[in-house]
Amino acid sequence: MKKFSILIAGGGSTFTPGIILMLLDNLEQFPIRQIKMYDNDAERQAKIGDACAILLKERAPEIEFSYSTKPEEAFTDIDFVMAHIRVGKYPMRELDEKIPLKHGVVGQETCGPGGVAYGMRSIGGVIDLINHMEKYSPNAWMLNYSNPAAIVAEATRRLKPNSKVLNICDMPIGIEVRMAEILGLNSRKDMDIMYYGLNHFGWWKSIKDKAGNDLMPALKEHVAKYGYVEKKGDSQHTDASWCDTFAKAKDVFAVDPTTLPNTYLKYYLFPDYVVEHSNKEYTRANEVMDGREKFVFGECDKIVKNKTSNNTELHIDEHASYIVDLARAIAFNTKEKMLLIVENNGAIVNFDPTAMVEIPCIVGNAGPEPLVVGAIPQFQKGLMEQQVSVEKLTVEAWIEGSYQKLWQALTMSKTVPSASVAKAILDDLIEANKGYWPILK
Ligand code: NAD
Ligand code: G6P
Ligand code: MN
């Protein structure tokens, strides 16, 4: 079997060690000859990189490993770029969350004004990665899960329509892991699903077992009582704030009991509840900096100090194996059915053909072939029209440097009560994002 060369872009990410351990766990299905890392923060990447070098030497010495901040070095001789950058890192995420909250509006990484602000920072960073890939490894594919994926995907559609970039999100996977547990199935892959929406904004319309039996009634009964809370949970979303989100899915489900919702819909359908339950001084970014970031960097420091990864508490990011499924689908033409963020192009027949939607696709060596979803109900269509307009206006604002369009984008968000609140938030965000956003006229 061919052995692949992988570049992890955003090498300094808190997810990098878990993903490397996951790749090592999957070498039989997806052989690897080389892993490289790329980041624009040399110091942050070196802390993760030096630990990963030790870990790889001990567990898979045959794999070549290096890390670099130089595009040519990093992007040369690569088959797959796995991209998870966070432009502005956690201090900017903290502002994305706290600035809207100061104005009484949802403060969230990817939803509402915080997501728009993050999008305005991410577009340039992700486009740079694509340019590097196309210059130094023109045959490579990029598997991108850098957020905010909805806005990033729309930007790649507008600016890089012919590039080999696949945009993917792990939230439906995390929820499907929980669904399988609720149903007593061994794996989420025992379910045959139909899902549609935008990224962080979607619904399951059908879930069946492999024999074709309808699993929706049993799931709905559970979700109506407990949301997606169940005994075991998924490996990615374990903190208390995530548990609240899974429980709140009960109320989100009640608004449309014909489908099962993505957890992120709570920010759009219950923004008042979310704001009331937020701490303006201590948001999710603070939780992550005090939790995951301290843990991962602390463990990496220990590995380097002890010169061994024996006894490390770093663990395999099991749920990230969807990245291997996606790479395998491209490399080995497996034709696996996966949820990807792709141009609608008629798949949802009564929705904007140019919208980037999250829908099931059959993935093979030529890329994704989206499945037909058909017509969607008025409720979902109305919500999606509004949200996709936020995303498209944000990308237009970035391309044109337009203050007016970004104000319209924020005004359009269901999380924002009025154009005047939108303007006040926008002016604060512009100040906070100096040097990251294009200059708006
Ligand atoms: P992190 O801040 O720990 O890591 C991000 C890294 O990207 C940092 O080391 C930073 O220096 C680097 N970076 C920033 N701008 C860059 C640029 N222009 N070029 C190269 N490197 C750059 O963040 P994290 O919490 O580990 O998350 C990483 C990313 O993965 C985020 O975008 C997050 O939203 C995303 N994510 C997505 C999903 C999904 O479902 N799509 C799931 C989990 C995380
Ligand atoms: C889910 C989403 C990701 C998001 C992450 C945030 O997995 O699908 O897109 O980045 O949650 O998690 P965090 O632990 O950083 O708040
Ligand atoms: Mn996501």
DSSP, collapsed to helix, strand or coil, labels residue 79 as coil
Taking residues 69-83, report their average pLDDT.
Answer: 98
72-76 long-range Cβ contacts below 8 angstroms, 24+ apart: 72/136, 74/7, 74/9, 74/36, 74/37, 74/38, 74/132, 75/7, 75/38, 75/132, 75/133, 75/135, 75/136, 75/137, 75/140, 76/136, 76/137
Average pLDDT of the segment spanning 378-391: 99
Q: Which residues contact 173 (CB under 8 A, 6 or more apart)?
A: 188, 234, 319, 322, 339
Element (H, E) at 364: strand 356-364
Of 79, 96, 170, 234, the active-site residue reads 170
Flag whether 162 is marked binding. Answer: no
* Cα–ligand 2 centroid distance for 58 (angstroms): 30
Query: Is there an atom of ligand 1 within 6 Å of 264 CB?
Result: no
CA of 195 to the centre of ligand 2 (A): 19
Token readout for 92 is 């900017």
Residue nearest to atom 6 of ligand 2 (CA): 109
115-152: burial string, b at 16+ Cβ within 10 Å, e else: bbbbbbbbbebbbebbebbbebbeebbbbbbbbbbbbb
- Cβ of 407 below 6 Å from ligand 1: no
Confirm if 362 and 369 have CB atoms less than 8 A apart.
yes
Cβ of 111 closer than 6 Å to ligand 2, yes or no, is: no
Greatest Cα-to-Cα distance within the chain, rounded to the nearest angstrom: 59
pLDDT at 193: 98
Range 261-266 average pLDDT: 98
Burial class from Cβ neighbours inside 10 Å (0-12, 13-18, 19+) for residue 25 reads middle
Distance 385 CA to ligand 1 centre (A): 28
Mean pLDDT, residues 323-341: 98
Average pLDDT of the chain?
97
Cα–chain-centroid distance for residue 364?
A: 21
Judge if the beta carbon of residue 322 lies within 6 A of ligand 1.
no
CA of 320 to the centre of ligand 3 (A): 12
Is residue 235 scored above 90 in pLDDT?
A: no
What angle separates helix 216-226 from helix 171-183, to the nearest 10 degrees? 100
Measured between alpha carbons, how far is 143 from 230 in angstroms, rounded to an integer? 30
Average pLDDT over every residue of 349-376: 98
Q: Whose Cα sits closest to atom 15 in ligand 2?
A: 288
Helix, coil or strand: residue 183: helix
| Number of C-beta neighbours around residue 27 at 10 A | 15
CA of 338 to the centre of ligand 3 (A): 14
User: How much is the pLDDT for 311?
Assistant: 95
Any atom of ligand 2 within 6 Å of the Cβ of 22: no
Pocket test for ligand 1, best of 13, 108, 286, 338 (most atoms within 8 A of CB): 13
Cα–ligand 3 centroid distance for 431 (angstroms): 27
For 208-347, where are the alpha helices, taking DSSP H only? 216-226, 240-255, 266-269, 271-276, 284-288, 294-306, 321-332
The answer, yes or no, to whether residue 70 has pLDDT greater than 90, is yes
How would DSSP label each residue in 366-394? TEEEEPP-B---HHHHHHHHHHHHHHHHH
Of 264, 267, 268, 322, the catalytic one is 264
Q: Does 200 show up as a binding residue in the annotation?
A: yes
pTM of the model: 0.98
Confidence of residue 318 (pLDDT cuts 50, 70, 90): confident
Identify the band that residue 201 occupies on the pLDDT scale cut at 50, 70 and 90.
very high
**pLDDT of 1:** 85
How many Cα atoms within 13 Å fall on the side-chain side of residue 97? 21
Average pLDDT over residues 113-142: 98
Q: How far is the CA of 89 from the centre of ligand 1 (A)?
A: 7
Q: Is 288 in the pocket of ligand 2 (CB under 6 A)?
A: yes
**284 appears as a binding residue in the annotation:** yes
Atom of ligand 1 nearest to the CA of 90: 2
Protein residue whose Cα sits closest to atom 12 of ligand 2: 237
Q: How far apart are CA 23 and CA 15, in angstroms?
A: 12
Instruction: Choose the residue to mutate in 69, 85, 289, 300 for probing ligand 1, maximizing ligand atoms within 8 Å of C-beta.
Output: 85
- What is residue 236's predicted lDDT score, i.e. its pLDDT? 84
State if residue 87 touches ligand 1 by the CB under 6 angstroms criterion.
yes
pLDDT at 306: 98
167 lines ligand 1 (CB under 6 A): no
Residue 282 falls in the annotated catalytic set: no
Question: Which atom number of ligand 2 is nearest to the Cα of residue 241?
Answer: 16
pLDDT tier at 238 (50, 70, 90 boundaries)? confident
- 237 C-beta closer than 6 A to ligand 1: no
User: Residue 168, by phi and psi: left (phi above 0), alpha (psi -120 to 50) or beta?
Assistant: beta
Question: To test ligand 2's pocket by mutation, which of 110, 145, 195, 241 has the most ligand atoms within 8 angstroms of CB?
Answer: 110
Active site residue 228: no
Q: Return the best residue to mutate from 151, 237, 290, 293 for the ligand 2 pocket (most ligand atoms within 8 A of CB).
A: 237
Half-sphere exposure of 263 (CA within 13 A, CB side): 24
Residue 418 CA: distances (Å) to CA of 209, 408, 409, 426: 45, 10, 12, 12
Return the residue whose CA atom lies nearest to atom 30 of ligand 1. Answer: 84
Q: Which residues contact 391 (CB under 8 A, 6 or more apart)?
A: 119, 150, 151, 154, 198, 356, 409
8 Å CB contact between 246 and 264? no
What mean pLDDT do residues 291-298 have?
Answer: 98
* 223-to-57, 217, 248, 349 alpha-carbon distances in Å: 45, 10, 10, 29
